[in-house]
Structure 1
Amino acid sequence: MTEKIRLYLADDHQILIDGLVAVLKTNKSFEVVGYSLTGENLVNDLADKNIDILIMDINMPGKDGIEVLKEFNSKGFSCDVIVFSSFDDIKLIKEVLQLGAKGYLTKQSAGENIIEAINTIYGGEEYYSKSVREKIFLSFTGKEQESATGFGGITPESITDRELEILKLISLEYSGKEISEALYISTNTVETHRKNLIKKLNVKNTIGLVKFALKHNLIHQ
């Protein structure tokens, strides 16, 4: 029997929790092990639970999602976090990603994207809803400039042909499975290349790879 993905939900609206539970129960590979309506209860409850993914709102009474993420980092909680929020402000998005969240969904898109997001993140990748991706890309291309020492002096010429192929496909929002099918390689090989690129370019995550590709116009080459 395949091991289920253990999920925990946190939002201050019971009706939204109930709706998410109903959606998630349609997938037999998921198990919702609990939920909280406040940030304080969330932190206390998770100390006694073994979960894979926390799906969490930002605005909660007692402790908001930002405070919860900071406390997770200080206590060494190991679960992955998907933030889902009514807000898609770029400053908020960047803050939660810097604090270690692996996904960000707007509540407007959560119903249609939540199952894909869970499976993607459980598979070791990151996931962002469409409007969030657009905000991130726009901030990288239109509002932020890299310093002269950005990326540790790495240039596109420092990347192998295979790495360049994978970097382009990542930037075009291909999933690991889609990249493996397009290049006729295994998903494990794709993930190895992705990790090597992150290390080589001295970035923190997939968004950092996209930022590099956009800076050097690799998407359109």
Structure 2
Amino acid sequence: MKEKIRIHLADDHQVLIDGLTNLLNTVEEFEVAGTSLDGENIFEDVTKNNAEILILDISMPKKDGIEVLKEFHQKGFPCKVIILSSYDDLKIIKEVMKLGASGYLTKKCAGENIIEAIEIVHLGQEYFDDSVREKIFNTFTENNPKLNKSITQEDKILSARELEIITLISLEYSGKEISEQLFISTNTVETHRKNIMKKLKTKNTIGLVKYAIKNNLIKS
């Protein structure tokens, strides 16, 4: 029998914890291993219950999410962390990702995206909900004159994240630059690049650039 993904929920609102617990319990592969209403003993709790994923609110009493991440950073991460926040402030996103968070999810999107977020992070990838990802991408590219600000794609071959990656590759950003600015690992960038090339049946960057121009991702 396949082992379940053990999840710990940390939020200062019991009603939110109850709602997320009920939602996650509908997924056979998930198990809510524990919960916390403050940040004081989260490290000890997730270590004891062997949680693999921690859903962590930024605004917590006694010890907030940033402090919890700093503790994890110092002691060694006992599990992967997805930040759950009411805010999509880029400074906060940048700080928590530098401290080792694996994902960032706004509360307004939590209900529809949290299952996907857990599955993706459990596989070792980073996760951002659409509004956060778009904000990061726009901030990174806002002053690039070659970017087409009104991106359209008719054939829907690529996912939203793949569209961002192919756009940045076509704008001549290196894998390292994309990794640093989008808060994803270089391995994730390379995985996306390979998947894009496979989908588009192209063998080199020239093919990616041609696709980007054809689909109005960048200006020729």
TM-score (norm 2): 0.69
Amino acid of the residue matched to residue 57 of structure 2? D
Deviations 1:27-85 (A, max 9, x none): 01001000000000222322322111000100000110000001001111231100011
Amino acid of the residue matched to residue 142 of structure 1? E
Residue matched to 1:105: 105
Residue matched to 2:63: 63
Relative to structure 1, the CA distance from residue 143 to residue 14 in structure 2 (aligned partners, 3 Å threshold; closer, same or farther) is farther
- Aligned pairs for 1:18-97 (under 5 A) are 18-97=18-97
Relative to structure 1, the CA distance from residue 169 to residue 128 in structure 2 (aligned partners, 3 Å threshold; closer, same or farther) is closer
The question of whether the paired residues in 1 share the 8 Å contact of 2:47 and 2:78 is answered with no
In structure 1, the residue corresponding to 2:41 is in which secondary structure? Answer: helix
Deviation at 1:139, TM superposition (A): 1.6
Give the Cα separation in 2 of the matches to 1:7 and 1:116: 13
In structure 1, the residue corresponding to 2:48 is in which secondary structure? Answer: coil
Deviations 1:89-129 (A, max 9, x none): 11111111111111111000000000011111111211111
In structure 2, the residue corresponding to 1:206 is in which secondary structure? Answer: coil
Give the Cα separation in 1 of the matches to 2:62 and 2:143: 34
* Structure 1 residue ranges without an equivalent (≥5): 145-167, 175-196
In structure 2, the residue corresponding to 1:16 is in which secondary structure? Answer: helix
Deviation at 1:170, TM superposition (A): 4.9
Give the Cα separation in 1 of the matches to 2:99 and 2:25: 29
- Aligned pairs for 1:1-221 (under 5 A) are 1-142=1-142, 170-172=161-163, 203=179, 206=184, 209=189, 220=217
Give the Cα separation in 1 of the matches to 2:164 and 2:80: 21
User: How many aligned residue pairs are there?
Assistant: 171
In structure 2, the residue corresponding to 1:67 is in which secondary structure? Answer: helix
Cα RMSD of the aligned pairs, angstroms, is 3.0
In structure 2, the residue corresponding to 1:48 is in which secondary structure? Answer: helix
The question of whether the paired residues in 1 share the 8 Å contact of 2:66 and 2:96 is answered with yes
Residue matched to 2:150: none
Give the Cα separation in 1 of the matches to 2:160 and 2:108: 27
Give the Cα separation in 2 of the matches to 1:60 and 1:79: 19
Relative to structure 1, the CA distance from residue 143 to residue 53 in structure 2 (aligned partners, 3 Å threshold; closer, same or farther) is farther
The question of whether the paired residues in 1 share the 8 Å contact of 2:56 and 2:82 is answered with yes
Relative to structure 1, the CA distance from residue 57 to residue 143 in structure 2 (aligned partners, 3 Å threshold; closer, same or farther) is farther
Relative to structure 1, the CA distance from residue 173 to residue 52 in structure 2 (aligned partners, 3 Å threshold; closer, same or farther) is farther
Relative to structure 1, the CA distance from residue 86 to residue 34 in structure 2 (aligned partners, 3 Å threshold; closer, same or farther) is same
Give the Cα separation in 2 of the matches to 1:173 and 1:32: 33
